[in-house]
Structure 1
Amino acid sequence: MTRASRPTPLPTALAVLATLALALAGCSGSTGDEPGSRLSGALVDPQLSEISGLAASRRHRDVLWLHDDGGNPERLFAVSTGGARRATFRLAGVPKTDWEDIAAFELDGRRYLLIADTGDNGGLRRTLQLHVVEEPATLKNARLKPAWSIAFRWPDGARDCEAVAVDAARGQVLLVSKKRQPPELFAVPLRPTDTGLQTATLLGRLAGVPRPDAAAVQRSPRGARLEGQVTAADLSPDGRTLAVMTYRYLLLYRRAPRQDWGRAVAQPARVQPLPWLPQAEALGWAADGRSLYATGEFVPAPLYRIAP
């Protein structure tokens, strides 16, 4: 979510520090509402503020790729699974309007990262961009160039999108809308046959996204409205489970053999509450596919490993 850079509000910062203190004190290793959530580390580096995308490296063990929001330089961070920044990479020749998600994938024996410049809070953008870079072999500050880029548009007018995933086996980039209810699932080609402007194809709509009850709406109308908005997504390494994050929930859509994604997301998701996060914005499967990493937009922020 693009916004002017600002320090973490004091109550939020204190809540983060309290969460970290409890975890470090060894409170049974669990730090959230969900018993399968464990603290992996913490983001305390000021450079890692406004994180909006996370993907686990397919090339470097125990390394996560993070990026920040619009209004910041065109850069990727290589971060340990404990939260320590190991290297910063600048992307050459790539504008940054509103980067909102990142996905790691393998294609033709090479390991890549896809960066989604798809944020559109105001609903004003007529075209959007996806940039693919090859994962660097060495974690040392450097500049990267895109291997290829994809320009696309929505078929029926602007919408905000903060969640992407790559299904390399099917040659698709999957995109989930943020504010529309139910959220919509679109696809664009991962390797278009032409370099022109692509048009995203609607695959279906996500079933089973929790809706706030009347009591929640009465307590906090704005907060209740945000609960079901989609902020991140990722596809498991085996290509079978699409994980979708909202501000409050983790949703898991399992695809049966020979089933397309439109039909898969039309079935109710398995839903579990997220552990406490200061504005949940970033989610990615671990490289082994057994868990997911998640973090929030403010610093300091907990970095969780979630067992689905």
Structure 2
Amino acid sequence: MIRNSYWWIFFCIVACGASSDKVGGSAKFHAAELRGEVENPLINEASGLVEGYNNPGYLWTHNDSGDEARIFLLDEFGRDNGIFTLKGIANRDWEDISSGPGPEEGANYLYIAEMGDNLAVHDYKYIYRFIEPRADDPRVIERFDTLTFQYPDGKRDAECLMVDPLTGDIYIISKREAQVGVYKAPFPQPVKDTIILEKLGNIPYHNVVGGDISSDGREILVKTYDKVLYWERDLSLSLMETLRTAPLEIPYIVEPQGEAIAWKKDGSGFFTLSEERDSIEAILYFYPKNL
């Protein structure tokens, strides 16, 4: 029996007119490589994705709302490498994960965004920040910061969290507006006080569901349900000034409820991962950069 996920891949291949293992392509990026189905069956609503520094060749992901407060470690082909649980908190609606600098100089931190709010009813949103565990560390994470934040212009639903590796500033892009908002929490972010995000402006996109900044700070990816947008950043410009310029739209396999995107830390390309929908398994894709 052919699994539904492969019927979906076959449909994408026919629609895009591509070979059986690669779809699309551009002058900047090669066609997508199918890396494999996600092995761990508990990963069924993958909503964020990031490659860390402490586990080369491995990716962190997490589920959407309703799951336990846990993150999953998987290799670049979707194979399982364990589950890490954050002690004493719940997953109300985790929507993205990022990595970058933090309070301890030289350490790499993971940032998990508790910021999903489909009905715009929650007064406070949270970001959980902790030093990235190594694969052989204890599987319960007990020490982490809770960053509490609000928007300056009302309650918002958001699914895109990015940490600038050059500054430690946190950026959030809202989801549902006709022109989504870009918000900033400058480094260092206070732990004891509620952070009121700074609104930087709007950009002309809708249904933004993920994003990531490359490890050198020079490239930005923003994902919607049906597009991947790419900016090459002049470091003399701010991130917002960059996002106001015209992006490159990368040919992209439209995944069922695809929300997760992450740069490979060496800059050689990026990964995407989707939720499972209609019995279609979650597939990990890699888009190699045309170096």
Name the TM-score, length of structure 2 as normaliser: 0.87
**Secondary structure at 1:110 match in 2:** coil
Within 1, Cα distance between the matches of 2:9 and 2:237?
44
Specify the code of the residue in structure 2 equivalent to 1:183. Answer: V
Q: Tell me which residue corresponds to 1:86.
A: 81
How far 1:257 moved relative to its partner? 2.3
Q: Tell me which residue corresponds to 1:256.
A: 234
* 2:284 is equivalent to residue 306 of structure 1: no
Structure 1 counterpart of 2:64, from 66, 69, 75: 69
Q: Rate the CA distance shift 1:259–1:48 in 2: closer, same or farther, 3 A.
A: same
More off after superposition, 189-198 vs 286-295: 189-198
Q: How does 1:2-151 map to 2 (within 5 A)?
A: 13=5, 15-16=7-8, 18=10, 27=19, 29-31=21-23, 35-107=30-102, 108-139=105-136, 142-151=139-148
Q: Tell me which residue corresponds to 1:167.
A: 164
Q: Tell me which residue corresponds to 1:265.
A: 243
User: How many positions carry a matched residue from both structures?
Assistant: 277
More off after superposition, 268-277 vs 234-243: 268-277
Specify the code of the residue in structure 2 equivalent to 1:125. Answer: H
How far 1:49 moved relative to its partner? 0.3
Q: Rate the CA distance shift 1:264–1:17 in 2: closer, same or farther, 3 A.
A: closer
**Secondary structure at 1:170 match in 2:** coil
Specify the code of the residue in structure 1 equivalent to 2:112. Answer: I
Q: Rate the CA distance shift 1:19–1:45 in 2: closer, same or farther, 3 A.
A: farther
Within 2, Cα distance between the matches of 1:90 and 1:257?
37
**Secondary structure at 2:22 match in 1:** coil
The CA deviation string for residues 137-175 of structure 1, in whole angstroms up to 9 with x for no partner, is: 234661012432210001011111000000142231100
Within 2, Cα distance between the matches of 1:307 and 1:65?
19
Q: Is the 8 A contact 2:121 2:155 kept in 1?
A: yes
What is the CA RMSD across the aligned residues, in angstroms?
2.5
The CA deviation string for residues 98-143 of structure 1, in whole angstroms up to 9 with x for no partner, is: 0000002244111111000010000111110000121112346610
Q: Tell me which residue corresponds to 2:195.
A: 198
How far 1:73 moved relative to its partner? 0.4
How far 1:258 moved relative to its partner? 2.2
Q: Rate the CA distance shift 1:79–1:253 in 2: closer, same or farther, 3 A.
A: same
Q: Is the 8 A contact 1:103 1:234 kept in 2?
A: yes
Specify the code of the residue in structure 2 equivalent to 1:273. Answer: P
Q: Rate the CA distance shift 1:30–1:86 in 2: closer, same or farther, 3 A.
A: same
Query: Can you give the 5+ residue segments of structure 1 that lack an aligned partner in the other structure?
Result: 1-9, 210-227
How far 1:21 moved relative to its partner? 11
Structure 1 counterpart of 2:272, from 271, 290, 294: 294
More off after superposition, 145-154 vs 118-127: 145-154
Q: Tell me which residue corresponds to 1:223.
A: none
Q: Is the 8 A contact 1:52 1:68 kept in 2?
A: yes
Name the TM-score, length of structure 1 as normaliser: 0.82
Q: Is the 8 A contact 1:76 1:88 kept in 2?
A: yes
Q: Rate the CA distance shift 1:118–1:190 in 2: closer, same or farther, 3 A.
A: farther
How far 1:307 moved relative to its partner? 3.1
How far 1:76 moved relative to its partner? 0.4
Paired-residue identity, %: 26
Within 1, Cα distance between the matches of 2:25 and 2:242?
27
Q: Is the 8 A contact 2:165 2:213 kept in 1?
A: no
Within 2, Cα distance between the matches of 1:119 and 1:145?
23
Q: Is the 8 A contact 1:32 1:276 kept in 2?
A: no
Q: Is the 8 A contact 2:39 2:80 kept in 1?
A: no
When you count helix as a share of all residues, which structure comes out higher? Answer: 1
Structure 1 counterpart of 2:263, from 276, 282, 285: 285
**Secondary structure at 1:262 match in 2:** helix
